[in-house]
């Protein structure tokens, strides 16, 4: 990540760290798990993403919608509790 926030936008405390996090993206009933770098607030847990990361999420969501990507590997079934 190129940028680093001086403080958390959410709680205003200067405790953000860059971490590799898992993010769940979903489109309709399809879900994709992606690993990205995010700036995470140690205090409130709020995550901040780079604009490129947001674009990446959008691309994955589009691929979920079209189900045409070779990048998407099924890893199990997501269940809903009735």
Q: How far is the CB of 25 from Zn ion (least distance, A)?
A: 23
Distance, CA of 14 to CA of 73 (rounded, Å): 38
Q: Is 64 in the site for Zn ion (CB under 5 A)?
A: no
Give the total of residues touching Zn ion (CB under 5 A): 7
Which residues face 18 on adjacent strands? 39
Q: What is the CA radius of gyration of the chain?
A: 15
Tokens, residue 14: 């200067």
69 Cβ contact list (under 8 Å, min separation 6): 60, 63
26-45 mask for Zn ion (x: CB under 5 A)?
---------------x-xx-
Of 9 and 54, nearer to Zn ion (C-beta) is 9
Which residues make up the interface to Zn ion (CB under 5 A)? 8, 10-11, 41, 43-44, 46
């Amino acid at each position: 990540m190129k940028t680093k926030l001086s403080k958390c936008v959410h709680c205003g405390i200067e405790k953000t760290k860059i971490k590799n996090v898992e993010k769940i993206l979903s489109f309709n009933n399809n879900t994709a798990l992606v690993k990205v770098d995010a700036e995470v607030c140690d205090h409130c847990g709020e995550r901040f993403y780079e604009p490129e990361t947001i674009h990446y999420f959008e691309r994955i969501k589009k691929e979920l919608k079209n189900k045409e990507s070779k990048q998407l590997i099924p890893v199990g079934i997501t269940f809903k509790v009735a």
